[in-house]
Amino acid sequence: MFIINVLKAIILGIVEGITEWLPISSTGHMILVNKFLNTAHGFFGSQIFLYVIQLGAILAIVTLYFKKLNPFSPSKTAKEKADTWQMWFKVIIACIPAAVIGLMLNDFMDTISTPFVVSVMLIVYGVAFILVERKEKTSKINQMSEMTYKTAFLIGMFQVLSIVPGTSRSGATILGAILIGCSRSLAAEFSFFLAIPVMFGVSFLKIVTNDYAMTGTEWSLLIISMIVAYLVSMAAVKLLVSYVRNHDFKIFGYYRIILGIIVILFSLITGTLFTV
């Protein structure tokens, strides 16, 4: 049984590593895979697992962008260090809306994390990506240094939308940043950086507020999933960064719509469309 659970932990780690950074909703995928693996009501489907596994994905961003994120790097000039601090201030400002509103609605959102809500959000934002990308637009903000604190705060307001299950944190922030005038590359990168304090904060909140008593075996399964999510995230982030240099996000919009329909059909068949 332990070996089977390890395989499940690896599968879920792969799913988390791929979907956390692409604008396609990691929540939607984790719900679908948990239903398929028949683990939706066990440890793998618990809030503590679904949120803490994200720490593995976050560490991938810290690893890949360590120099860019580090304001104390001895190889940076004084100006580069100042720019790094400004970037972090923008990240913090952008996190304020999600921190305030997210804390107020945290418990409520847990109660509506049903396949129906997830599928609706997948489809709605899938359509939004397609409509936004169909319009001709010129990016006004192409570098982090060109982003104002006001722009960062507005992107943070879009991030608030991601507290609704199935929206996708990266999807909401990337879509918002593009609408405001950021280039696709900058939108994706800023979304990565925003995830660091947000996901660390959410994971910490779930750990201290969750009454789920984890066993030693469950801790080991969680660590396995986190390691897998870390390794897969490294590849997924590199792939996304390379892709957005020459392509738009319409493909993710179509994918979200198809996945939303699959979630609805699968949930109808299993009779779990409105169950948490």
- Assess whether pLDDT exceeds 90 at residue 81: yes
pLDDT greater at residue 49 or residue 32: 49
Which pLDDT band, with edges at 50, 70 and 90, does 230 fall under? Answer: very high
Q: Determine the pLDDT at residue 136.
A: 66
Which pLDDT band, with edges at 50, 70 and 90, does 38 fall under? Answer: confident
CA 64 to the chain's CA centroid? 16
Q: Read off the pLDDT of each residue in 236-251 and give the average, rounded to a whole number.
A: 92
Which pLDDT band, with edges at 50, 70 and 90, does 207 fall under? Answer: confident
Percent of the chain with pLDDT over 70: 98
Amino acid at residue number 133: E
Query: What are 257's two structure tokens?
Result: 């719509």
Q: Read off the pLDDT of each residue in 106-119 and give the average, rounded to a whole number.
A: 79
Largest CA distance in the chain: 60
pLDDT greater at residue 92 or residue 105: 92
In the block, residue with structure tokens 């929206």: 167
- Assess whether pLDDT exceeds 80 at residue 48: yes
Distance separating alpha carbons of residues 55 and 136, to the nearest angstrom: 37
Terminal alpha carbon distance of the chain: 26
Q: Read off the pLDDT of each residue in 71-84 and give the average, rounded to a whole number.
A: 94
Q: Determine the pLDDT at residue 60.
A: 96
Q: Determine the pLDDT at residue 77.
A: 94
- Assess whether pLDDT exceeds 90 at residue 236: yes
Q: Determine the pLDDT at residue 235.
A: 95
Burial class (CB in 10 A: 0-12, 13-18, 19+), 118: buried
- 88: Cβ–Cβ under 8 A, 6 or more apart, which residues? 69, 71
- Assess whether pLDDT exceeds 70 at residue 45: yes
Q: How many CA atoms lie within 13 A of 218 on its CB side?
A: 13
Write down the pTM of the prediction: 0.87
Closest CA to 221 of 44, 1, 29: 44
- Assess whether pLDDT exceeds 90 at residue 57: yes
Which pLDDT band, with edges at 50, 70 and 90, does 205 fall under? Answer: confident
CA 89 to the chain's CA centroid? 21
